[in-house]
Structure 1
Amino acid sequence: MAKPASEYTRKRNFDVTSEPAESKRKGKARSGALSFVIQKHDARNLHYDFRLELDGTLKSWAVPKGPSLDPKQKRLAVHVEDHPLDYAAFEGSIPKGQYGGGDVIVWDRGIWQPHGDPRKTYADGKLKFTLIGEKLSGEWALVRTRLKGSGSKEQWLLIKEKDDIARPAAEYDITEAQPQSVISGAHVGAGRSAPAKSKAKAVEAKPARKPAPKKANVVFPDTLAPQLATLVDAPPAGDWLYEIKFDGYRMLTRIQNDEVRLFTRNGN
């Protein structure tokens, strides 16, 4: 298993880094929903830090290529030290020369629902769970392999399970399509946003292009599934906005050929 959270403190100089210091009292397991966060980290190598709240701490894995919605793509996830719960809200720049030096953004966040006893499945090396995030959702798995990385770090695999959310990689890459922070909209790494003026100059310098071919007509589906409320015992902790589920209809709006239509998830 991963080393205790004290390793987190040993690796950092909190007089230099703005990362949250570990509380003297270990975080207590909270009742209600369990949080998850994925931080995009532009350190020596760009990667995604996948963190699941469990027993008052954040169990953490470094995922070099980030999550994929394609069940065929089993993404390497290197198990690293536990992080304090306060780390879930961290965005900023870790100074060069410090452990993990580089820019960090919160790429996704939400709650996770373990299938079965999470302590047992974590110890067994086969976590299965549902994610309800701002970007990721649906069924997922973290599976420990017998391979060993540098030092004693365990190598796991982050896998998207087959469900209605899964999509082939050739069709959609969520890390490419949605590179920005869910908190600030900031970018890091190769997807960093350039200043607007620089973009304008680059466009002016390009030669004229041929008109793009007309797009083919797209057939709209008869029904769409809106995001539905999820029953939990308590609202998530932190600066979250959430809705109380009232009785009524959840309406969707579709605009097609200048015609506006309102309909329910049942197509009415």
Structure 2
Amino acid sequence: MTVSRFVVQLHDATTLHFDLRIRIGDVLRSWAVPKGPSLDPSVRRLAVPVEDHSLAAGDYEGIRAGQTRGTGAVIIWDEGDAEIIRDEPGHLSVLLHGSKLTGGFALTRTGERRWILVKTRDAHARPGSDIVAEQPASVRSGRTWEDLANE
């Protein structure tokens, strides 16, 4: 098991989406998760792989200038330690230790540009919950993306 780091950034770009980033080596492997992660193991979330990002990208919170659509507002929705349980082509299992996301999560490839993110059934699972709606603010600043966009 490898101890690493994860960050989930909420980004108002072309569409509002969450970016799940997990440190693997010297980069952040990244997936765009349109509806955001869920703590309900019965909920499967689309996760679209995007290019690896630099480690510094995981610390960014602010307004991305020059956005043709959306405000470009980015908040750090959650972050913390990540334990890599299994990392093989087409599958990644992690234990997350964040403020909002805790416990096991799995990413499984289901198509060329399509993965599914699911919460494992463990003590941290919350069937029926919607963590995205319940806790919309940044874990660093306490601001929402709308707060940033309207500054």
Structure 2 match to 1:177: 134
Distance in 2 (CA, whole Å) between partners of 1:84 and 1:78 is: 18
Letter in 1 for 2:100: K
Q: Is 1:138 matched with 2:103?
A: yes
Higher strand share: 2
Distance in 2 (CA, whole Å) between partners of 1:186 and 1:44 is: 21
Partners of 1:94 and 1:100 within 8 A in 2: no
Greater gyration radius: 1
Structure 2 match to 1:166: 125
- Aligned pairs (5 A) from 1:100-119: 102-116=72-86, 118=87
Partners of 1:50 and 1:60 within 8 A in 2: yes
Count of equivalent residues: 148
Runs of 4+ in 1 over 2 A off after TM superposition: 96-101
Superimposed CA distance per residue, residues 78-130 of structure 1 (whole angstroms, 9 cap, x where no aligned partner): 000110001111001012346986100000000111114x3xx2xx2111110
Superimposed CA distance per residue, residues 187-242 of structure 1 (whole angstroms, 9 cap, x where no aligned partner): 015xx59x9xxxxxxxxxxxxxxxxxxxxxxxxxxxxxxxxxxxxxxxxxxxxxxx
Distance in 2 (CA, whole Å) between partners of 1:39 and 1:98 is: 19
Q: Which has the higher contact order (CA 8 A, sep 6+)?
A: 2
The runs of 5 or more residues in structure 1 that have no matched partner are 1-31, 149-153, 196-268
Superimposed CA distance per residue, residues 127-157 of structure 1 (whole angstroms, 9 cap, x where no aligned partner): 11100111110011000012x4xxxxx2101
After superposition, the CA RMSD in angstroms is 2.1
Identical positions, percent? 45
Counterpart pick for 2:94 among 110, 125, 129: 129
With structure 2 as the length reference, what TM-score do the two structures score?
0.90
With structure 1 as the length reference, what TM-score do the two structures score?
0.52
Letter in 2 for 1:145: T
Structure 2 match to 1:56: 26
Structure 2 match to 1:90: 60
